Amino acid sequence: MGPRRPALLAALLLGLALVVVLWLRIPWAAVPQVTDPTAGLTAEQVSRADAFAAAVRPASVVNLLLGLAVSGVLGLTRLGSRWVAAAARPLGGGWFWQVVLGTLVLTVAGRLVTLPLSAYGEVVRHRYGLSTRSWPLFARDVAVDTGITAGLTALGLLLLVALARRAPRTWWAWAGAGAAGLVVAGSFLYPVVVEPAFNDFTSLPAGQLRTDLLDLAEANGTPVQDVLVADASRRTTALNAYVSGFGSTRRIVVYDTLLQQLPDDQVESIAAHELGHVATDDVLTGTLVGALGAAAGVALLGWLLGSARLLRRAGADGPGDARVVPLVLLLVAVGTLLSTPVQNGVSRQLEARADQHALDLTRDPDAFAAVMRRLAAANLNQPDPPAAWQWFFGSHPTTAQRVAAAQEWSR
């Protein structure tokens, strides 16, 4: 058996395990039939959401394709490998600095190429009143995001190249285990390391709403020590809430905009939805799926990086050569793009289950439907977007589907 075949076999077996986990852990169910594609929004609200989508979606697609094109040019020609080698030359040109500085250079280059489109998107969000972020804060967010992305990417690539240098035939197995471990660690650390880089969090002040939310969590069988408020209004007028982390870092977070704009019963409906994610261990499921996906992806990467033709095009001698970094970044970008519809399909099913949980917990379908409409209007979401867009990019059921689910529950 050649050195590439075990990697391909492992990728197939891990992919099969991933399919089994998805089958067992995801509540595959048909979406409710939509009877009103407007979801009860006014004609003006629907028109405004349509206009916003028409303004930002083409730029979003171009941004995505442009980033992929840049990765392709750098990963499938010797240009990327030259950049990696040149970046480390002032520090002696060793493989460690080639990985670290090469990753930084490539990440910054990709960000600079797409920055005009990102800025255009920010202009549109300002025009529609969705963004409150100042341009200095926008620049700061871009810089912080780029730094975090480059740092985490470099960490993963250092692990990969170091293992490939130490165990040329089996590096992908060790790196796959490491990638899975990083996914698990990330679920613990993201809420306490990454999220605070973009928002400040405070406990929801004492009062009737806080009491009601904690009581709701108790009734849900998932008591929480705290509910956090994010200072999202520094950046946006959008409404949102989410749950992240698990174990000691699990938290429910609501935007301050949510508390400013919605009545308590609607805030409770949103909190009940987030408690649904907690009750069914959706973060744990996502972590397990992510860990298996990462391990399978690294095994597939091991097979691909055994291709002499690919390595020759990239100007690298093998996975233990730091000049392979641009090629790895391209392959990861392509894999991420191809897996996006699957990830979003899974996400939509989990979100639909959390919606049902919220309805069962609050027994208030009117408040649920009302808050879905408020979210759509405030966030400029089309209530019934094009099917192809929803299939590829939609991480939640459409507003029309969620309102239909509330109506179906009340029957």
pLDDT in tens, 381-402: 999 999 999 999 999 999 999 9
| pLDDT higher than 50, residue 1 | no
Q: Tell me the β-bridge partners of 253.
A: 228, 242
The predicted structure's pLDDT at residue 4 = 86
| pLDDT higher than 70, residue 366 | yes
d(CA 144, CA 157): 20
The torsion angles phi and psi of 298, rounded to 5 degrees, stand at -70, -40
281 SS3 class: coil
The predicted structure's pLDDT at residue 3 = 66
The predicted structure's pLDDT at residue 245 = 67
Which domain, by its residues, includes 194? 5-410
Which class for 387: exposed (0-12), middle (13-18), buried (19 or more C-beta within 10 A)? exposed
| C-alpha triplet 186, 285, 147: angle, nearest 5° | 20
Place 2 in a pLDDT band, splitting at 50, 70 and 90.
low
| pLDDT higher than 80, residue 17 | yes
The predicted model gives 79-89 an average pLDDT of 97
Largest CA distance in the chain: 71
Assess contact for 133 and 234: CB atoms under 8 A: yes
- How many other CB atoms are there within 10 angstroms of residue 224's CB atom? 20
DSSP for 323-359, please give it.
GGHHHHHHHHHHHHHHHHHHHHHHHHHHHHHHHHHHH
Total structural domains in the chain? 1
**357 carries a ligand binding annotation:** no
The predicted structure's pLDDT at residue 410 = 86
Which of 118-127, 171-180, 243-252 bottoms out in mean pLDDT, i.e. has the lowest?
A: 243-252
The predicted model gives 212-229 an average pLDDT of 83
d(CA 354, CA 373): 17
Percent of the chain with pLDDT over 70: 98
| pLDDT higher than 50, residue 158 | yes
- Token output for 262: 């919605």
Place 201 in a pLDDT band, splitting at 50, 70 and 90.
very high
| pLDDT higher than 80, residue 246 | no
- Token output for 181: 């471990």
Assess contact for 256 and 235: CB atoms under 8 A: no
252 SS3 class: strand
- Token output for 7: 């990697």
Report the catalytic residues.
274, 355
Closest CA to 407 of 18, 1, 143, 33: 33
**273 carries a ligand binding annotation:** yes
Closest CA to 98 of 82, 106, 107, 87: 87
Helices (H) and strands (E) counted in the chain, each on its own, are: 15, 4
Handedness of CA 59, 385, 256, 223 (dihedral sign): negative
The predicted model gives 56-68 an average pLDDT of 97
The predicted model gives 241-265 an average pLDDT of 83
**Residues in CB range of 408: below 8 A, 6 or more apart:** 32
Q: Across the chain, what does the average pLDDT equal? A: 93
Q: Tell me the β-bridge partners of 228.
A: 203, 253
Percent of the chain with pLDDT over 90: 79
pLDDT in tens, 288-347: 999 999 999 999 999 999 999 999 999 999 999 999 999 999 999 999 999 999 999 999
Place 194 in a pLDDT band, splitting at 50, 70 and 90.
confident
| pLDDT higher than 90, residue 187 | no
Under DSSP, the state recorded for 195 is G
> What size, in residues, is the chain?
411
